């Protein structure tokens, strides 16, 4: 038998060729056996290859509410390179990767349709797109390489297997055990075992039969008519990557999935059951060895159900006029939440129900992750000629996340506070255990609400709607968000509309607080005054923690620490009376540690203390700058100078420009004026 001879006798294929030659490698079947001996992973199944591809990008462990979650860098780092990074979905993605792993190991998941399910505009299609991209790139690497073969025809022409099958399928059933034994000889347990699964496609079967007859049953001679080549997966070339999107329900045809008769060639071959007169170019054919994505899979006509089920459960498809044909590909479907609910009871779903593995891909519920989605498109590099005022993206993202959150059962917790807890902020009286509990009581969170796409559209609108304005600000975006709600197709009830509107007021209020704070801090950001206040505060804290007295710098007398001063600073950052000792001790410990290294304490290294000092200082001097005078049209020279200093601080420290710093100052002034009016 030539197989053993080929294995033992043929020269080792030097795989370390130049890149081009490697990717365009061609050779005989014998040489392929050498490759398989040295790199058994070239024969991996589609699921194994997909999972290994994801793993090849590395993983890291992150903690999400005390629980360890594996983050796959494929979905972050690799994805970022393609402008598609997915943030804030570590858990669903880990679930998905685990399904791939189970399928790779043959635990049964490989016989199911993987169904990504989530609200409109969650990252479902991004995930599918990334997996396809990842497979394409992986097939170009040494560790991800795979092979197929072509048949020698007349006049030195070559005809490739239309389904890019693995060359080992050319081995007849009776030879496979002996071949595998040799191919797997001495294999370490950590390595992949070479497997040969399935039979040749109808086209190759015809080629094979013809040649075996021509060479009088000599399989080895038949192989001389076969050329093996390196297979590079490519969606564009329809090699190993397929996409199926159902058109309108009336107009679906199974040939799109499993191929069609080539009427031009029937005349040539005399019959429509000759595989040479058939195009094996349906999506399930061409996606063999890789992945096929079914967009909105539930819209698939029920007539296709059996194609889909056969493909997933049996790994077989049935092209018209031909026998069942073996396939090896990952089948990934996705569906929108509204569509899923609508179809839950139809015939198609009934049949699919226990044959799918449903993976929920929700919206993001952590503010920082949501912000990153928009910052990708709306940043100073992408948006030219217009300044995005501070908090514009943040406020829009905040509203989007709020619409997705479930009202907490906890009576003392507002939706906005819940959002802040999710975002990693600590609130007095709430621990991380509470956050875990909050998540547990709202398992469906993120499956409803406003999609990032709506937000993106409205930010775009706001950017173009005011051509005469220099900056786009949160009010312009909020106005667009509000205006669009009336025509929003996914808002199903007046109550929901009402709720979303109320949330717009919530974020508006939050914005007022944010800018009030910023302006106050900018007013107070006089460094000398802050340093003086800081050392005064620290002197008192030091005396307090060491139970000593403080020397009054003015009179030289020793006095009790000034409790009122310390509290008035601490209250600015919500340090409750019961926590003040801890806070003061922490600061003294920090200063002590610095002193050991010979360093001096600088309030700017402690963000919270800095904020507290600035706000205290603002309180002390708020009457020296008459902010409210900004709303009147007449400003005296001295006030204008002070205002200019504040403006320059807003620009330097908070990202405002000349225009929006003026706007925000008058806005905050009007808030204070309103406040005074109330009193």
Q: Interface with Zn ion by CB under 5 A: which residues?
A: 161, 163, 165, 201, 204, 387, 389, 471, 657, 659-660
Nearer residue to Zn ion within complex by CB, 560 or 658? 658
Q: What are the CA-CA distances from residue 621 to residues 92, 247, 530, 609 (Å)?
A: 51, 68, 12, 18
Question: Angle, nearest 10°, between helix axes 392-404 and 474-485?
Answer: 30
- Closest contact distance (angstroms) between CB of 175 and Zn ion is 18
C-alpha distances in angstroms, 263 versus 203, 251, 257, 528?
16, 21, 18, 88
Find the shortest distance in angstroms from Cβ 146 to Zn ion. Answer: 14
Q: How far is the CB of 479 from Zn ion (least distance, A)?
A: 17
Residues 120, 338 contacting (CB under 8 angstroms): yes
Q: How far is the CB of 150 from Zn ion (least distance, A)?
A: 10
Q: How far is the CB of 276 from Zn ion (least distance, A)?
A: 12
For Zn ion, the closer of residues 242 and 446 by Cβ is 242
- Nearer Cβ to Zn ion (463/471): 471
Shortest spacing between CB 662 and Zn ion, in angstroms? 9
Closest approach of Zn ion to the CB of residue 387, in Å:
3
Size of the chain, expressed as the number of residues it contains: 679
Question: Phi, psi at residue 233, to the nearest 5°?
Answer: -70, 140
Q: Shortest distance, CB of residue 161 to Zn ion, whole angstroms?
A: 3
Tell me whether residue 289 or residue 572 sits nearer to Zn ion (CB atom).
289
How far is C-alpha 58 from the geometric centre of its chain's CA atoms? 16
The per-residue b/e assignment along 309-321, b for 16 or more CB within 10 angstroms, e otherwise, is: bbbbeebbbbbee
Of 150 and 183, which CB lies nearer to Zn ion in the complex structure?
Answer: 150
Closest CB to Zn ion among 127 and 472? 472
Task: Give the residue with the Cβ less far from Zn ion, 165 or 369.
Answer: 165
Least separation in angstroms between CB 282 and Zn ion? 14
Is 334 or 387 the residue whose CB approaches Zn ion more closely?
387
Cβ atoms 286, 239 nearer than 8 A: yes
Rounded Cα–Cα distance for residues 41 and 37 (Å): 9
Distance of alpha carbon 307 from alpha carbon 343, whole angstroms: 19
Min dist CB 393 to Zn ion, Å, is 13
Q: Which of 601, 598, 627 is nearest to 523 (CA)?
A: 627
201 vs 239 by CB, closer to Zn ion: 201
Collapsing DSSP to helix, strand or coil, 88 comes out as coil
Residues sharing a CB contact under 8 Å with residue 167, sequence separation 6 or more, in sequence order: 29, 32, 147, 148, 149, 226, 228
In 10-59, alpha helices (H): 19-23, 29-38, 46-56
Question: Hey, is 483 helix, strand or coil?
Answer: helix
591 φ, ψ to 5°?
Answer: -65, -40
Closer Cβ to Zn ion, 201 or 402, answer by number: 201
Residue with Cβ nearer Zn ion (131 or 201): 201
CA distance 283 to 306: 15
Exposure string for 97-132, b = 16+ CB within 10 A, e = fewer = bebbbbbbeeeebbbbbbbbbbbbbbbbbbbbbbbb
We find the least distance from the C-beta atom of residue 659 to Zn ion, in angstroms, to be 5
The distance of closest approach from Cβ of residue 463 to Zn ion in the complex, given in angstroms and rounded to an integer, is 13
Q: How far apart are CA 626 and CA 326, in angstroms?
A: 80
Query: Is the Cβ of residue 180 or residue 657 nearer to Zn ion in the bound state?
Result: 657
């Amino acid at each position: 038998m030539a197989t053993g001879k080929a294995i033992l006798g043929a020269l080792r294929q030097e795989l370390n060729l130049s890149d081009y030659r490697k990717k365009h490698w061609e050779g005989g079947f014998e040489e392929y056996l050498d490759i398989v001996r040295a790199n058994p992973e070239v024969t991996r199944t589609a699921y194994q290859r997909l999972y290994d591809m994801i793993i090849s990008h590395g993983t890291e462990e992150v903690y999400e509410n005390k629980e360890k979650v594996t983050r796959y860098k494929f979905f972050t780092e690799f994805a970022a390179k393609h402008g598609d990074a997915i943030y804030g979905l570590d858990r669903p993605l880990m679930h998905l990767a685990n399904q791939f792993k189970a399928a790779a190991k043959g635990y049964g998941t490989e016989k199911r349709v993987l169904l990504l399910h989530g609200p409109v505009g969650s990252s479902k299609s991004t995930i599918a797109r990334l997996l396809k991209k990842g497979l394409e790139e992986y097939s170009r690497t040494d560790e991800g390489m795979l092979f197929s073969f072509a048949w020698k025809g007349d006049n030195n022409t070559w005809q490739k297997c239309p389904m890019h099958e693995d060359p080992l399928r050319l081995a007849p059933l009776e030879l496979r055990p002996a071949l595998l034994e040799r191919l797997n000889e001495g294999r370490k347990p950590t390595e992949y075992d070479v497997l040969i699964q399935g039979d040749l496609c109808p086209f190759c079967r015809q080629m094979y039969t013809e040649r075996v007859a021509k060479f009088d049953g000599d399989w080895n001679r038949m192989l001389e008519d076969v050329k093996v080549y390196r297979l590079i997966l490519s969606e564009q070339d329809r090699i190993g990557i397929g996409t199926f999107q159902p058109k309108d329900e009336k107009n679906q045809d199974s040939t799109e999935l499993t191929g069609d008769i080539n009427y031009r060639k029937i005349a040539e071959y005399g019959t429509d059951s000759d595989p040479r007169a058939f195009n094996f170019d349906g999506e399930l054919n061409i996606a063999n060895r890789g992945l096929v994505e079914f967009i909105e899979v539930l819209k698939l006509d029920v007539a296709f159900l059996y194609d889909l089920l056969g493909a997933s459960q049996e790994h077989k498809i049935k092209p018209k006029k031909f026998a069942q044909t073996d396939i090896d590909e990952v089948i990934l479907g996705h569906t929108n939440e509204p569509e899923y609910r609508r179809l839950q009871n139809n015939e198609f779903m009934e049949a699919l129900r226990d044959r799918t593995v449903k993976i929920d891909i929700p919206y993001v519920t952590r503010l920082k992750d949501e912000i990153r989605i928009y910052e990708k498109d709306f940043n100073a590099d992408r948006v030219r000629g217009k300044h995005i005022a501070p908090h514009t993206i943040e406020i829009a993202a905040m509203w989007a996340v709020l619409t997705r959150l479930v009202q907490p059962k906890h009576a003392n917790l507002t939706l906005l506070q819940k959002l802040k807890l999710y975002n990693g902020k600590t609130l007095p009286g709430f621990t991380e255990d509470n956050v875990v509990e909050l998540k547990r009581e709202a398992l469906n969170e993120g499956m409803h609400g406003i999609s990032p796409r709506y937000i993106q559209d409205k930010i775009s609108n706001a950017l173009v709607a005011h051509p005469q304005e220099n900056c786009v600000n949160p009010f312009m975006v909020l106005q667009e968000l509000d205006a669009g709600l009336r025509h929003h197709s996914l808002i199903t009830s007046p109550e929901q509309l009402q709720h979303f509107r109320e949330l717009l007021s919530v974020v508006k209020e939050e914005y007022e607080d944010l800018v009030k704070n910023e302006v106050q801090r900018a007013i107070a950001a006089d460094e000398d005054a802050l340093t003086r206040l800081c050392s005064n505060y620290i002197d008192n804290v030091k005396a307090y923690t060491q139970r000593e007295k403080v020397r009054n710098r003015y009179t030289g007398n020793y006095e009790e620490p000034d409790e009122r001063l310390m509290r008035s600073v601490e209250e600015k950052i919500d340090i409750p009376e019961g926590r003040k000792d801890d806070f003061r001790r922490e600061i003294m410990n920090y200063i002590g540690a610095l002193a050991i290294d010979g360093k001096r304490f600088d309030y700017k290294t402690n963000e919270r203390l800095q904020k507290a000092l600035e706000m205290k200082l603002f309180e002390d001097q708020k009457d020296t700058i008459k902010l409210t005078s900004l709303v009147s049209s007449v400003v005296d020279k001295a006030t204008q100078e002070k205002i200019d200093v504040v403006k320059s601080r807003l620009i330097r420290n908070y990202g405002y420009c000349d225009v929006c710093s003026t706007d925000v100052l008058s806005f905050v002034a009007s808030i204070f004026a309103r406040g005074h009016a109330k009193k």
